[in-house]
Structure 1
């Protein structure tokens, strides 16, 4: 570990909650007690050599604080601190998901301390140039032996419920679709593309930050397989929740708690999904998120 990383780590004792474990880098932790159906991972898989990430974990009630700083290569994801939901019902065929309710609450801010749920310190995060998302990450494959492994699954489905700065989902510049689907009061728009490993990635991105989330997300999955965007015989094998961390000039903390999964297995009901358009109008608004359009226009006027 470089000296710069050691200096950043010196601030970690400021984390407020008494913790059951502290894991850093690529290390993980298996929960116990109230967290017995959870595993936690710091998952700093793409370190920039200058930054760091650590995850402070509390078993009961289940929660974690991910404190990180990545100062180089601002457009790349460097880590995905997350919790993985363990369930004997997984893998399960998409067509056999009666409902899938995902619950969490989260906050994001600067420094090393726990951020209260529903708090986003936008001013401080802007000041340090923070870029990150908050998302559920799921993997699926027609082959159940591959569905539970992020490295082998053919399909990745992300549900973004938070954006800090201007993170860009895979396909933001070429494959932002006009496909929309609401879950409760939250409207999502779909992006799609392939990652560097060839996995087909579908990202449902919420229009607003949802710091408290408790909804049945099966409509988002049904939209994909009923419209033949993913193989209808795919099985869902892995479900995670965390934050993809791109960049921050100094320490920021992502705090998450109250996360749970409730999966009901049974023949998928025929939901009243939004109609998928036959084609999307080609325009700059159709290709880029609004925040990026504003940035582009600002650059034009500056020039």
Structure 2
């Protein structure tokens, strides 16, 4: 290559290098202020997932969440009626309103009643990913901030509010629940099947077949959290896990509270101690049965575990 060609190439590369430098500087400036990178798509997309189980983790600049249709109560060779699909709305620029904001999601489902020994077909849910803070010893938890707005309705359209009478007319058996797992072993605490304890907080209960484990033995205690009264039930599930379920009085479609107190004081009731570890925090709906399609919609959700 001659001298003239080298000079020409140098003049060509110079503006490219300057442009790249300016873009990298602009990107660093925006990232330092929590802004999305320049020239990133602001597209909002909604995708549908009907798999039995499938992890969906939309990109985010804040806390990471994973969603799952989680149709765990359906056998692999099941060919019967019914089904469930999950819709997840995500921002391609990975920038949500706050660092704790979760993606919006909904489910539409219908299943016939299952056997009394296994009435649950699925627990579609969204969970806070372990890397956020888990596992964490209960004694080191300062607060568990939880905020959710949700609605359940008959049909395929996202509902604005929950009409309990309409759900009962559709023979709906379901709940809306916060789900936590704990164990003395931090590795087992992050597993929904290996953990020794499951602590649930039910914000809605529909249908006579939807019963917390231990309902027949009666409530062990009652506790109020941010104006909502909860009754506690205790029993063991089919995996031998100790299940403690807080059931709200009525249907609570908007709930904003520190749910940490619902983990405290459970030791003498067959629950975890302050030395056990919390490894799993999720929010979803157990799908038992319905005579027609019904839709659960969660437009707003925040979960955050604050350590001491």
Whole-angstrom CA distance in 1 between matches of 2:145 and 2:164: 28
Cross-structure match for 2:65? 38
* Structure 1 residue 36: Cα displacement: 6.0
- Residue in structure 2 matched with residue 170 of structure 1 by the alignment: 213
Does the residue aligned with 1:95 lie in a helix, a strand or coil?
helix
Tell me the alpha carbon deviations over residues 201-257 of structure 1, each in whole angstroms, 9 at most, x when there is no partner: 000110111101110011111121476632332100000100011110110001112
What does residue 294 of structure 2 align with? 252
Question: 1:126 is matched with which residue?
Answer: 168
Are positions 1:182 and 2:213 aligned together?
Answer: no
Instruction: Go from structure 1 to structure 2 and tell me whether the alpha carbon gap of 1:228 and 1:69 turns closer, same or farther (over 3 Å shift).
Output: closer
* SS of residue matched to 2:46: coil
The CA distance in 1 between the partners of 2:270 and 2:215, in whole Å, is 21
**1:29 paired to 2:56:** yes
* Change over 3 Å in CA distance of 1:247–1:99 after alignment to 2: same
- The C-alpha deviation readout for 1:124-174, integer Å capped at 9, x for no partner, is 212210010000000000000100000100000000011122310011112
Give RMSD over aligned pairs: 2.0
Give the 3-state SS of the residue equivalent to 1:68 in structure 2.
Answer: strand
Runs of 4+ in structure 1 off by over 6 angstroms are none
State the alpha-carbon separation in 1 of the partners of residues 66 and 115 from structure 2.
28
Structure 2's unaligned 5+ residue stretches are 1-43, 97-102
Residue in 1 that maps onto 2:10: none
Give the SS at the match of 1:98. strand
3-state DSSP of counterpart to 2:216:
coil
Q: TM-score, normalised by structure 1?
A: 0.76
Q: Which of 29, 39, 59 pairs up with 2:90?
A: 59
Greater Cα radius of gyration, structure 1 or 2: 2
1:73 aligns with 2:114: yes
- TM-score for the superposition, normalised by structure 2: 0.75
Q: Which position in structure 1 is the counterpart of 2:138?
A: 94
Partner of 2:99: none
- SS state at 1:136 partner: strand
Give ranges in structure 1 of 5+ residues lacking alignment.
Answer: 1-16, 267-303
Pairing 1:270-289 to 2, within 5 Å after superposition: none
In structure 2, the partner of 1:149 is 191
